Structure 1
C-alpha cells in the first residue's frame, strides 16, 4: 500500500487558486483593453492613473502565477500572495498621495484598489495558514 505524502486538495485551496487565476485573467483583459486598445474601454476609464493601471496590469501575471502555485500547493505561492498584497498596498498608498496632491483620478480606481487589497489580503491569509509556513524565530546573539 502506497501512502500519499501530499495533503489532499481541499475546497479552500481550490477556491483561492481559482479566484487568483480568474482575478488575474480579468485584470489582464480589463487593463489590457485600456492600455492597448484605443476604444470604449479607454474612454470609459476616464481619468485613469497610469502607474496604477500599469501596476495592476503587470500584477495580473503575478496573480496567475500565484494561483497556479496555490493549486499545486507550493509554499512559495503563499509568499507570492503576501508580496502581491504588500505591493498592492504600496501602490494604493502612492495613489492616495496622487489624489491628495490634486491629480486626476476616478472613484472606480479607489474602489478597485480597495477590492484588490481585500481579495489579496484574504488569499494571502488563507494561503499562509494552509501552507503551514512559519516565520523563522529570531536568533539571540
Structure 2
C-alpha cells in the first residue's frame, strides 16, 4: 500500500478554492503593477518585485489547481467501478 493518502473529496474541495483565490490575486497585483498612478497610490508602499513574484506564484497555484481537477475528473471517469449486474 502506498504511504500517501488519496485526495478524494478534499482534493475536489481545495482545488477550486486555490483557483478562486489565485484569480483575484493576479487581477489586483496586475492592477497595481500595470495600472495607473491612482491604483499605485491606493496600494501604498509596495515593492514591485514582490507583487510580480506573487503573480507568478499565483499563476502556478492556478495551473496546479486546474491540473488536479482535470486529473481527478479523468481518474473518476476511467477508474470508476462498474455497476452491478441485476440478477
Larger RCO: 1 or 2 (CA < 8 Å, sep 6+): 2
TM-score band (shorter)?
0.5 to 0.7
State the partner residue of 1:23: 21
TM-score after normalising by structure 1: 0.42
Structure 1 CA distance for aligned equivalents of residues 32 and 44 of structure 2: 10
1:11, distance to aligned residue in structure 2 (A): 2.7
The alignment partner of 1:72 has SS state of helix
Number of the residue aligned with 2:3:
none
Q: Which residue matches 1:12?
A: 10
Deviation per residue, 1:23-74 (Å, 9 max, x gap): 2101111101101111543212111012111101122211110111221347
Structure 2's unaligned 5+ residue stretches are 1-6, 73-87
1:38 maps onto 2:33 in alignment: no
Distance in 2, matches of 1:10 and 1:56, equals 29
Q: Say what the alpha-carbon RMSD is for the aligned residues.
A: 2.0
Unaligned runs of 5+ in 1: 1-8, 75-141
* Structure-2 separation of matches of 1:50 and 1:61: 17
Q: TM-score, normalised by structure 2?
A: 0.64
Larger Rg: 2
